[in-house]
Amino acid sequence: MDIDLSRRNKKPRLLLESERERLEEFIDSIHYSARYEHLTHVHKGRIDRHRYSDDQFEYRHVQLPKNMLKKIPADYFDSSKGTLKLLWEEEWRALGITQVLRSAPRNSRSASLRLILFV
């Protein structure tokens, strides 16, 4: 998987205390994919399973609440893509994202592409 590292800030842009406080209410609503999730595709009776990992990285999706995105500082976004930039570890941890699974209720109606890829 080729990752475009130019899509991140030159150095980590840490949140101000006031910015962090605005995001606190959303921390428990962050949805994490299973650590060893497989994508299963059935094609002509054959099942293909794909892991979110390669020789160098393990990948995980994180789904952020839509209202949380509205409160994340603009310089965390890639305006040309309309998505979050590739975040430094200090940046995604400041947003309240961890690599520990949380048990949060799932809302099956809210599937979307508000995802983050850990590298």
Domain boundaries, the chain: 7-117
> What's the pLDDT score for residue 90?
93
What would the pLDDT profile of 56-103 be if each residue is shown by its tens digit?
Answer: 766 777 889 999 999 999 999 998 888 899 888 899 999 998 875 444
Query: What is each CA distance from 66 to 2, 14, 69, in whole angstroms?
Result: 27, 21, 5
CATH number given to 7-117: 3.30.170.10
Mean pLDDT of 41-66: 66
Q: What is the band of 33 on the pLDDT scale with cuts at 50, 70, 90?
A: confident
Angle of CA points 64, 51, 66, to nearest 5°: 10
- Per-range mean pLDDT, top range of 39-43, 50-54, 75-79, 110-114: 75-79
Q: Which helix (H) or strand (E) holds 23?
A: helix 17-23
Question: What predicted TM-score, i.e. pTM, was given to this entire model?
Answer: 0.65
**What are phi and psi for residue 75, nearest 5 degrees?**
-75, 5
Answer whether 107's CB lies under 8 Å from 33's CB: no
